[in-house]
Amino acid sequence: MTTKKPVFLRDELTVVLGASGVYALRMLGLYMALPVMSTWSAGLPGATPFLVGLALGAYGLTQAIFQVPAGLLGDVRGRRIVILGSLLIFAVGCGIVAFAPSIHWVIIGRLVQGVGAMASTLIALIGDVTREEVRTRGMALMGGVLGVAFAGGFLLGPLVSSKAGVPAVFGLAALLSVVGVLLFEVLVPRRLVPGLRDVRRHGVATPFSWAEARSLLHDRSLLVLDSGIAVLHAALTGVFVVLPFVLKEFLEPLELWKVYAPVLAAGFTAMVWGSHQADRRARTRFVLRLGGFTLSLGMFGLAFFHTTLWITALSLGVFVVGFAMIEPTLASLVTRFTGRTARGTAAGLFNMSQFGGAFVGGALAGFLLNYGRGYAFLALGTLTLLWAFTLVWLRNPEDIEDYSIDVPDLDGSRWIVLREVLVSHPAILEAEMSGTIVTIRCWARLVSRDDLSELVHKR
């Protein structure tokens, strides 16, 4: 007898699709620039290969800096204000790039774009409203919507730039981000987005906890996830610093779809398959390992065979398949391995790593481009392979258990003190109180029910 797979509830689907659609509009503008930006910026006054790579990666630098503050602000003051503010700041950055007279102004505009850091808040929001058994699919659904934006951007970018120039691409990106502000108000109901007040569970407040936030910094599994997303986006940014110069030798801008369309179709298929597999706790680490080695294989193919079009396209497809399997799984695990009140902060650290990796990948690829196109692919492929081996330190999601303990004499004020002690424990992921019952989510191999009961009653 087979177990029926859980389906999304209406509120879950509303938030996932609404938030993803708004984010996809913003990212559409960003993706439109990727296939044309490096070759365009190389022709601007003051441009060098390193500054071209820096221009692509600069967005990641300020994204990395502001992800944690934005995630923390979302935990304390509410997710909505962060999302709307980020969309407007991104639009300003796009405007600066659109009117940039030199490579240096392009870099400044890209830095401003990155200040609009909303990814961590969106991940936390989806984690807030989705149950664990559908969360990986929720992240994959967001990834699927972004995948459509990615594909659309790669098709529209060369078309718009060939008709109106690359600055028009950034002007359109600014407009799409402003439209996103309006759509978020329409598509995502306010009742589903945590606001200024603490989220309450059955009348008992679940406040933000600094102890819980600090504990994120020494969790080995979160460190593996954070380093994974950093390497992943370093590789992605590095690929699109170098790849446009490679493809320019074989294809005209309006012919790039011949490579990108089948590659993105393969990536979307891999994302659907990988997310369904990763929703089963026993298969999660297998999906990550498979994706890590696939990703590395694609990078090494680009490093050694980029002088041949069909092998370049095949290697790019293998890279994208690995990327698509890994990214939604990493994002889902971040929300599984953290509690609700620190989820935005954890997602902030995760996305800080992601965009920090993008900055390093862009700068490194631009630097190595001086020595030959294969060196960037080789260096970043080596990093992805090394990360795949660190997965031995990732804890098994199957070890997460929920224990309920009856504490008849616990009142609200004493619960706040007790919860601070519980969530700072290295084996405890989350603690909530409902009536006289304290529910603790923890790593079962590190702490037993008896240990938790003793800790609760002692306190």
The topology under which CATH files domain 10-188+198-393 is: Growth Hormone; Chain: A; (1.20.1250)
* Amino acid, single-letter form, for residue 223: L
pTM over 0.75: no
**Least-confidence region, from 24-28, 60-64, 128-132, 265-269:** 128-132
pLDDT per position as a tens digit, 300-342: 999 999 889 999 999 999 999 999 888 878 877 887 787 666 6
* pLDDT(92) > 80: yes
Where are the chain's structural domains? 10-188+198-393, 399-458
Q: What angle do CA 361, 364, 369 make, to 5 degrees?
A: 120
CA dihedral sign of residues 123, 98, 248, 384: negative
Helix H or strand E encompassing 200: strand 200-201
What integer pLDDT is reported at residue 212 of this predicted model? 58
Write down the mean pLDDT value for the chain: 83
Rounded to 10 degrees, what is the CA torsion of 297, 156, 166, 100? -80
CA dist., res. 342 & res. 337, Å (int) = 10
Where is pLDDT greater, at 138 or 86? 86
pLDDT range class, residue 199, cuts 50, 70, 90: very low
**Least-confidence region, from 138-152, 226-240, 262-276:** 138-152
CA dist., res. 209 & res. 428, Å (int) = 13
- Beta carbons of 242 and 49 less than 8 angstroms apart: no
CA dihedral sign of residues 309, 310, 313, 315: negative
What integer pLDDT is reported at residue 2 of this predicted model? 46
**291-308 exposure pattern, b = at least 16 Cβ within 10 A, e = fewer:** bbebbbbbbbbbbebbee
Tell me if the domain spanning 399-458 has CATH number 3.40.50.620: no
Helices (H), 42-131: 49-77, 79-98, 103-115, 119-129
What integer pLDDT is reported at residue 348 of this predicted model? 73
Rounded to 10 degrees, what is the CA torsion of 378, 382, 384, 386? 180
Taking alpha carbons only, the member of 37, 254, 35, 259 closest to residue 153 is 35
Q: Kindly state the percentage of the chain with pLDDT values over 70.
A: 90
